[in-house]
Structure 1
Amino acid sequence: MNKLQAMEVFIQVVDAGGFTRAAENMQLPKATVSTLVQALETSLSVKLLNRTTRHVSITSDGAAYYEHCVRILADVREAEESLSRTRLSPSGRLRVDAPTALASELIIPALPDFFARFPDIELELGCSDRPVDLIEEGVDCAIRGGELGDVNLIARRVGVLHFITCASPSYLAMYGTPQHPNDLKQHRGVNFFSAKTGRTYEWDFTRDGERIQVAMPAHLAVNDSNAYTAAGLAGLGLAQMTQFMLEPLIEQGKMVEVLGDWESDPLPIHVIYPPNRHLSAKVRVFVEWVADMFINHPATQQQGVRRPDQGTAP
């Protein structure tokens, strides 16, 4: 028995004053209406209606139950209408975490479009290259690059980051320009280390099926993308920077690409969120929005797959 349907039928019988008219109003067979009311009485072990061949009247228990049914069904309808409105215009606080560079260079410039679509959402955007604990820190969803350590989270791949090896003009004037990845042993670089594990990431290069990994000599390692960019601009060493961060600097003459005929592995970008059975409307619309933004952005379009044993880079 569908309890809510049986309650609705019971209300209709009381309001209509009989089974026949209630059946007509609900466009149900009279036998179905009668069966549902009987099943309701059986489940409650209470007689709700007095029946004669010509008349139906409500019992005292039935009158009390009728009032409860009216309130319960009204609450159900209100909840459904509220969810429907929320789906159309989600509202409330939304906590999102994203890497610093992605947040400042890609997400924040695109937020006017997000707020134009969803003006009732209050976004709290945490910007850090430190991987946060979504559950412990109350984060609704996060954007991450590289390896995903927590298998209990739902992950949706939305794009990739492409890397270019580069250096400042001042560095190249002092140390020269490498022509091959093997030349990097005579150079110095700016390294990036994981804020979670402390591990420094190796540099990788691929060309015509040949693959080279380099443990780059360096005087400096950082764990923040903005600091990494600043170090490269200061001439502290060669750097492997994301395409979207580097291209404006190349156009301004502040950085120069090197080893341009070698490619570095792209880094996948994921939107992750806890495995809630019912994803809230505000989280759902943000995930869809940011996925659409990354998939269609020229700097993050998916053009390759990074191996799962490699981690997050700047």
Structure 2
Amino acid sequence: MELDALRVLVKVAELQSFTHAAEHLGMSKSRASVRVQELETALGTRLLQRTTRTVRLTPDGERLLGPARQLLADADELGNLFLGARGLRGLVRVDLPATIARDLIIPSLPDLLARHPLLELQVSTTDRRVDVVREGFDCVLRVGGLDDSGLVARRLGALPMVNCASPAYLRRHGVPATLDDLDRHVVIDYAQRFGASAPGFEHRAPDGAYVDRPMRAVLSVNSADAYRVACLAGLGIIQVPRHSVREHLDDGSLVEVLP
């Protein structure tokens, strides 16, 4: 039994598509189909139920999926034993927020790729919540908590946050000095899914916990660029990682409030 055939089966099961699995694995759809057929012949059983619209595992396919994943993980771990001497290699598909890609990740890539010349990256920049399995990503980087408890996550670090508004907004509404002053202010709502949560101002309580204070919003956006531009236009207060607005704080087009 070849590991490559198992790898195709697992990816087809995850993505429920020969087309997407083949694209992720860098092979043709016909080649992926042949690999699964060879595996079915070797095992003497049907592993996938194919229709014109869907692909799903048969009961025997379900039985094989868990052990196949474990076998592939063990094989990858074995291959990584000597990775330090050879360097990283292969295609890695990553999705991350556009501002983090622009300010933090992409500027660091020349050194990474120089150390690992056989590594190939596909970097997708989105602010939406992606389906890691269905869309075929190997790694997703996000700011904030993890909503899907079925995913494995690791905290990489902390980003200093800043509250800011434009000078024009502060001239109209005044500069908030306390949290109670926020009752007279508006916040720009950043929402990956509109209506999923009420707009608010996150602050740190005396016990160290983060607390959301409800605030009025006249505008909701779902993109980091729109969020920043709306603040520059004087439409409200925003809370963002400091790196994403550093140039605006430096030139005075945005002003920090309630530090």
Q: TM-score of the superposition, structure 1-length normalised?
A: 0.52
Q: Which residue of 1 aligns with 2:258?
A: 259
Q: Which residue of 2 aligns with 1:152?
A: 150
**Coordinate RMSD, CA, aligned:** 2.7
Q: Pick one of 94, 112, 115 that aligns with 1:117.
A: 115
Return 5+ residue gaps in structure 2 as ranges: 1-77
Confirm or deny: 8 A CA contact 2:103 2:244 kept in the other structure: yes
Q: Which residue of 2 aligns with 1:132?
A: 130
Q: CA deviation at 1:258?
A: 1.0
Q: Which residue of 2 aligns with 1:97?
A: 95
Q: Deviations over 1:76-121 (max 9, x none)?
A: xxxx899857961332221001112211111111111111111222
Q: CA deviation at 1:205?
A: 2.2
Return 5+ residue gaps in structure 1 as ranges: 1-79, 261-314
Task: Give the partner amino acid of 1:188.
Answer: V
Q: Pick one of 137, 161, 164 that aligns with 2:162.
A: 164
Q: Which residue of 2 aligns with 1:205?
A: 203
SS at match of 2:88: coil
Q: What is the aligned residue count?
A: 181
Alignment partners' CA distance in 2, 1:196 and 1:188: 17
Judging changes above 3 Å, is the alpha-carbon distance between structure 1 residues 109 and 196 closer, same or farther for their aligned structure 2 residues?
farther
Q: CA deviation at 1:163?
A: 1.8
Task: Give the partner amino acid of 1:117.
Answer: R
Confirm or deny: 8 A CA contact 1:100 1:224 kept in the other structure: no
Q: Which residue of 2 aligns with 1:239?
A: 238
Structure 1, 241-250 or 192-201: larger mean CA deviation: 192-201
Judging changes above 3 Å, is the alpha-carbon distance between structure 1 residues 108 and 198 closer, same or farther for their aligned structure 2 residues?
same
Q: Deviations over 1:173-206 (max 9, x none)?
A: 2221111111112112211113387324521223
SS at match of 1:126: strand
Confirm or deny: 8 A CA contact 1:129 1:223 kept in the other structure: yes
Confirm or deny: 8 A CA contact 1:97 1:142 kept in the other structure: yes
SS at match of 1:241: strand
Q: CA deviation at 1:162?
A: 2.7
Q: Which residue of 2 aligns with 1:143?
A: 141
Q: Deviations over 1:10-56 (max 9, x none)?
A: xxxxxxxxxxxxxxxxxxxxxxxxxxxxxxxxxxxxxxxxxxxxxxx
Q: Which residue of 2 aligns with 1:217?
A: 216
Q: CA deviation at 1:136?
A: 0.8
Alignment partners' CA distance in 1, 2:164 and 2:92: 37
* 1:1-314 alignment, distance < 5 Å: 84=82, 88-195=86-193, 198-206=196-204, 208=206, 213-260=212-259
Larger RCO: 1 or 2 (CA < 8 Å, sep 6+)? 1
User: Which runs of 4 or more aligned residues in structure 1 lie more than 6 Å from their structure 2 counterparts after TM superposition?
Assistant: 80-83
Judging changes above 3 Å, is the alpha-carbon distance between structure 1 residues 196 and 108 closer, same or farther for their aligned structure 2 residues?
farther
Q: Which residue of 2 aligns with 1:263?
A: none
Confirm or deny: 8 A CA contact 1:192 1:200 kept in the other structure: no
Q: TM-score of the superposition, structure 2-length normalised?
A: 0.62
Confirm or deny: 8 A CA contact 1:91 1:121 kept in the other structure: yes
Confirm or deny: 8 A CA contact 1:97 1:125 kept in the other structure: yes
Confirm or deny: 8 A CA contact 1:191 1:216 kept in the other structure: no
Alignment partners' CA distance in 1, 2:199 and 2:98: 18
Task: Give the partner amino acid of 2:159.
Answer: L
Judging changes above 3 Å, is the alpha-carbon distance between structure 1 residues 105 and 195 closer, same or farther for their aligned structure 2 residues?
farther
